[in-house]
Amino acid sequence: MNQTPLIEVKGLSVHFVSSHGVLRRRIRRVRAVDYVNLAIYPQETLGVVGESGCGKTTLGRAILRLVKPTAGQVLFEGEDIVQLNPSEMRRRRREMQIVFQSPQLSFDSRFNVLNLIAEPLQTHTPLRGEELTRRVVELLEQTGMPGEVLFRYPHEFSGGQLQRIAVARALALNPKFLVLDEPTSALDVSVQAQIINLFQRLQAELELTYLFITHDLSVIQHISDRVAVMYVGKVVELSTTDAIFNGGAQHPYTKALLGSAPMVDSARRRERIILQGSVPNPANPPPGCTFHPRCPVSLPLCSQVEPKLMDTGNGHLASCHLLQGEVVYPNAPPVINV
């Protein structure tokens, strides 16, 4: 892309420190996000996928500075927001918002819809009285909700309706960038489609930029322009959605994720790589490539040296020793057709 990124993430790390043991004298460092680099361009949707616990949500919250990064930079329009003081960050908050996975948990059940959506407007703008109410009604109608729900409470709505209200609140301050943290995972399939269509319509109308976090590959394929695949706090592959889903995936972990996804079209079968074991503990990741204990094509080098995330051609990034040198694959991985 020739555009200037709206957001650049450089060497971003988020490590959580906790004590454990009988006397809680042992210190454990959990590498939730570990030296991530990526760029998000204006009006694009960057999808982030990976198994539970891979660091997707922490990455999104660190970009918004809802959690404090341990190291690295987050450049928003060229300004490093990690270095901003609270008053300066408050100014940027208007331009960066989040939609959470569960609106039921992000809403105060004592507030009605008017109060829920008006809260950021009262904090950041001079709107009051009729002007404030009018703006709230506009936001509701923009997300497909009727204005007459103003005085109803969260328990009176379905999951899909609550998510529309959550989107209306996120849009209240006219942001440029939204982190969408698994916004459809708690919804029925038919409602998921409606919310995805809503996000796409709003993006076109308001020129929004999205970081879309999910474990649902079918949703990512439908909504994303590019896809970042995360494993144990690191991005292991990043490319266009077309490349990832149409035979261009390169990292063994990405191939395993794609092979595990159900496919309705039997004519488009994928090879399924059978992974052994479970995701490593981010407090004690294996040396070298963190995926090597489960990788069906790992080499001795993989357990000793961590591969770098490198351009393998046409802007396609992947971190695998097998892609970065003239290395012949060892024994073929176990494969079944699905």
* C-beta of residue 69 within 8 angstroms of C-beta of residue 77: no
Is residue 278 pLDDT above 70, yes or no? yes
Name the residue ranges covered by the structural domains of the chain: 7-95+175-337
Task: Output the average pLDDT for the chain.
Answer: 89
C-alpha distances (whole Å) from 186 to each of 100, 103, 105, 182, 313 are 11, 10, 12, 8, 37
Which architecture, in CATH terms, is 7-95+175-337? 3-Layer(aba) Sandwich (3.40)
> Which residues are within 8 A (CB) of 310 and not within 5 positions of it... i.e. 6 or more apart?
317, 318, 319, 323, 324
29 pLDDT tier (thresholds 50, 70, 90):
confident
Stretch among 7-11, 28-32, 77-81 having the lowest mean pLDDT: 28-32
What confidence tens digit (pLDDT) does each residue in 79-110 have? 999 999 999 999 999 999 999 988 888 899 99
CB atoms within 10 A of CB 301: 15
* C-beta of residue 80 within 8 angstroms of C-beta of residue 260: no
Beta-bridge partners for 99: 180
The pLDDT score that the predictor gives to residue 102 is 87
What confidence tens digit (pLDDT) does each residue in 141-195 have? 999 999 999 999 999 999 999 999 999 999 999 999 999 999 998 888 889 999 9
Stretch among 155-169, 270-284, 286-300 having the lowest mean pLDDT: 270-284
Mean pLDDT for the stretch of residues 309-333:
74
Is residue 22 pLDDT above 70, yes or no? no
The pLDDT score that the predictor gives to residue 259 is 87
What confidence tens digit (pLDDT) does each residue in 42-89 have? 999 999 999 988 999 999 999 999 999 999 999 999 999 999 999 999
The pLDDT score that the predictor gives to residue 45 is 98
What confidence tens digit (pLDDT) does each residue in 117-149 have? 999 999 999 999 999 999 999 999 999 999 999
41 pLDDT tier (thresholds 50, 70, 90):
very high
Question: What one-character-per-residue DSSP string does 16-84 give?
Answer: EEEEESTTS-EEEEEEEEEEEEEEE-TT-EEEEE-STTSSHHHHHHHHTTSS--SEEEEEETTEEGGG-
What confidence tens digit (pLDDT) does each residue in 250-273 have? 999 999 999 887 654 444 555 666
Mean pLDDT for the stretch of residues 320-336:
54
Is residue 326 pLDDT above 70, yes or no? no
Beta-bridge partners for 20: 26
* C-beta of residue 177 within 8 angstroms of C-beta of residue 40: yes
Question: What one-character-per-residue DSSP string does 134-175 give?
Answer: HHHHHHHHHTT--GGGTT--GGGS-HHHHHHHHHHHHTTT--
